[in-house]
Amino acid sequence: MSIQLSIRGMAKRYKTGEGVSDINLDVRKGELITLLGPSGCGKTTVLRSIGGFLKPDAGDILIEDRSVIALPPEKRPTSMVFQSYNLWPHMSVYDNLAFGLQIRKKPKAEIRESIADVLRLVRLPGAEKKSPAQLSGGQQQRVALARSLLLKPAVLLLDEPFSALDAKLRHEMREELREIQSQTGLTMVFVTHDQEEALSLSDRIVVMNHGRIEQIAAPQNIYNEPESLYVAQFIGKMNFLEGVVEADVIRVGELAVPNAKRLAGPAAVVAVRPEDVNLDSGIKEGLPGAVKQIMVLGHYAEVSVNLGKHGIIRSFQSKDAAQALSLGQHVRVSFAKVTSFPKE
């Protein structure tokens, strides 16, 4: 797979001292990559630099192996779908969509046809004559998406495009976007602070924190093998326990887990997903604890166990297994899979 977009050593510092630094990222052709991180971590800054709306202080940005760093937005082969839609309020849907094609001097008949096509693609067939004010938020965002799709950009940029929509619509739009991406084969960079959105949508996720990239990996790898304590905390639910490094193992009370990363110690943080926490009442191994709370959440249950000085650990159990437990019951806790991090 060829590299469609390459960001090399990019940095941007605002006057306030905030910004991003050391951004290195290669996006493959046809890939949907997500920039994920809490608000203020610099996602928009990276995206706007790709689109040409911001001039980075350092580094280079290449699209299809050509540096675009010196080009203004209107000359870049990118197109952006903004969080606030940014349709032109005085133009009809048709004119909103036609503008970019008219600039590219496409013949009128072709424009009309491709607008009808793209409106079908975003599930708004026949909306040409409507004005943006007559459309709902979701519909406006579909038009904005259509406007970018029409131009067949080398890289499509999306800045939290669905965050202003309600939850149900957001799910729908996510699925549609995924479908559109597989139909068009466009390369997309998608910004979101919603990890569920990132996990469900992306080929790969770029986790950002404080203006830096923490990890770049496929969703399941981000989830299963977080590279830093930050990523482990940010993605999904995770239990954290303090451990003591003893050469090949890390000891958490009576339990020893392998020191897979060969941490130097003396202290380490052991991270366990709730689904990897086993509860047993019959065995002698494992950390002793007492069931503190049982929350049935549909087909599964979240069981909290008090481990005394190791704090409270959460475990996901099947509904049946959870119903076999009672409050205050003594159990032994063991881990199917752990990740460890140096203690900061």
Nearer to ligand ADP, 18 or 60 (CB): 18
Decide: is 104 part of the binding site for another protein (CB under 8 A). Answer: yes
Decide: is 114 part of the binding site for Mg ion (CB under 5 A). Answer: no
Extended beta strands in 58-125, E state: 58-63, 66-67, 78-81
Using the rule CB under 6 A, which residue among 14, 166, 218, 330 binds ligand ADP? 14
- Shortest gap between Cβ of 40 and ligand ADP (angstroms)? 4
Ramachandran area for residue 273 (φ above 0: left; ψ -120 to 50: alpha; else beta) = beta
Nearer to another protein, 159 or 214 (CB): 159
Q: What is the DSSP letter of 276?
A: G
From the list another protein, Mg ion, ligand ADP, none, which binds 126 (C-beta under 5 to 8 Å, kind-based)?
none
- Could you tell me whether strands 212-217 and 330-335 are parallel, antiparallel, or unpaired per DSSP bridges? unpaired
- Shortest gap between Cβ of 158 and ligand ADP (angstroms)? 12
Ramachandran area for residue 286 (φ above 0: left; ψ -120 to 50: alpha; else beta) = left
Decide: is 89 part of the binding site for another protein (CB under 8 A). Answer: yes
Establish how many alpha carbons lie within 13 A of residue 311's alpha carbon, considering only the half-sphere containing its beta carbon. 9
Nearer to another protein, 159 or 276 (CB): 159
Using the rule CB under 8 A, which residue among 80, 93, 115, 177 binds another protein? 80
Contact string 28-67 vs another protein (x = CB under 8 A):
-----------------------x-x--------------
Q: Give the position of tokens 């380490």.
A: 268
Establish how many alpha carbons lie within 13 A of residue 266's alpha carbon, considering only the half-sphere containing its beta carbon. 0
Q: How far is CA 63 from the centre of its chain?
A: 22
- Shortest gap between Cβ of 54 and Mg ion (angstroms)? 12
Decide: is 22 part of the binding site for ligand ADP (CB under 6 A). Answer: no
Nearer to ligand ADP, 8 or 13 (CB): 13
Q: Are 133 and 146 in contact (CB under 8 A)?
A: no
List the one residue out of 239, 235, 231, 234 whose CA is nearest residue 275. Answer: 239
Decide: is 77 part of the binding site for ligand ADP (CB under 6 A). Answer: no
Using the rule CB under 5 A, which residue among 21, 34, 44, 49 binds Mg ion? 44
Nearer to another protein, 143 or 177 (CB): 143
Please provide residue 34's backbone torsions phi and psi, each rounded to the nearest 5 degrees: -115, 135
Decide: is 16 part of the binding site for ligand ADP (CB under 6 A). Answer: yes
Decide: is 72 part of the binding site for another protein (CB under 8 A). Answer: yes
| Residues 35-54 interacting with ligand ADP (rule: CB under 6 A) | 37, 39-45
**Burial class of residue 119 (count of CB atoms within 10 Å of its CB; 0-12, 13-18, 19+):** buried
Using the rule CB under 6 A, which residue among 8, 11, 19, 57 binds ligand ADP? 19
Q: How far apart are CA 338 and CA 217, in angstroms?
A: 19
Q: How far apart are CA 73 and CA 70, in angstroms?
A: 10
- 271-247-222 Cα angle (round to 5): 30
Using the rule CB under 8 A, which residue among 19, 30, 73, 286 binds another protein? 73
Contact residues for ligand ADP, defined by CB under 6 A: 14, 16, 18-19, 37, 39-45
Contact residues for another protein, defined by CB under 8 A: 51, 53, 72-75, 78-80, 82, 84, 86-91, 99-100, 103-104, 133, 144, 147-148, 151
Contact residues for Mg ion, defined by CB under 5 A: 44
